[in-house]
Amino acid sequence: MQDSVSSYASETSNQQVAHFQQELFGQCRSTFEAFQGLGDVAEDMRILSLNAELAAGRAGTYGVSIRALTQYTRELVNRLEQINLEMRKVDAFKDDESEEGATAAPTVEAVEYAEEEAYSEENAAEGQEDDAQEEENAEASYEEETGIAALIHKFEEENGGVKYLNEQAKRIAEVVSQSNSIATNMAIEAATAGQYEDTFTNVANDMRGFVNTLKNMVTRAQDSIEKAFRAEKSLKEIDTAARQ
């Protein structure tokens, strides 16, 4: 009876590990996908800034402030392109859904195998003091390689994990805030640009459009990041409980 209860508890724990590991990977992947169009937005912003700078040059004194704003815009574009370049190097989130499922399965098998090995080694070492110490050290080493904590660590090593994506989302959010300020200042300058008012107003409106697109990316990413953090926390709690 006790063996049945232990087996059921182990199976339940492994199912939870599989669920939260899939949730962690899936939400990180959703975060990555939220920024898939980042490079396109950056390129469109660059083109807008170049066209606006040309228009500012034709506007003479009316376009001095607009030109300064377009140059600042290109600095933000460079930051977006750098972030996009860094994220393109993260290959772990480019797998298909089927591969995602396959990623989780070995994890559960590894946990089950580690537990079976630990049980087998414990019985084999019973009554053999010297061998028991050796088996205990081997078991600890094996568990370190295959345990939940090690799996999370490997996940972070391969793609940065949740913290990395959260940092990237914050960097993009900063660009969004500064881009919004540029759009506002462009609209203000347009109002005093005389015959060039319509031209610069259109530039400001286009800039706001890019800001809204980036905002939507960040909002979607932050939702996935929050869920990923919760999944990671649950995995760590299971790991802590298993060690007690």
To which residue do tokens 């059921």 refer?
A: 8
Predicted confidence (pLDDT) per residue in 71-94, tens digit: 999 999 999 999 999 988 775 555
The pTM for the full model equals 0.73
What's the CA gap between 38 and 40, in Å, rounded? 5
**What interhelical angle do 148-159 and 161-190 show, nearest 10?**
40
Residue 128's pLDDT band, with cuts at 50, 70 and 90, is low
How open is the CA angle 111-17-161, to the nearest 5 degrees?
100
**Lowest mean pLDDT across 1-10, 37-46, 61-70:** 1-10
What pLDDT, on the 0 to 100 scale, is given for residue 91? 57
Contact 24, 232 (CB under 8 A): yes
What's the CA gap between 179 and 220, in Å, rounded? 19
Predicted confidence (pLDDT) per residue in 14-61, tens digit: 888 889 889 998 998 899 999 999 999 999 999 999 999 999 999 999
- Determine the longest span between alpha carbons in the chain, in angstroms: 95
Q: How far is CA 143 from CA 32, 146, 199, in A?
A: 31, 5, 65
Give which of 234, 238, 219 is closest to 34, Cα–Cα.
219
**Lowest mean pLDDT across 113-122, 142-151, 222-231:** 113-122
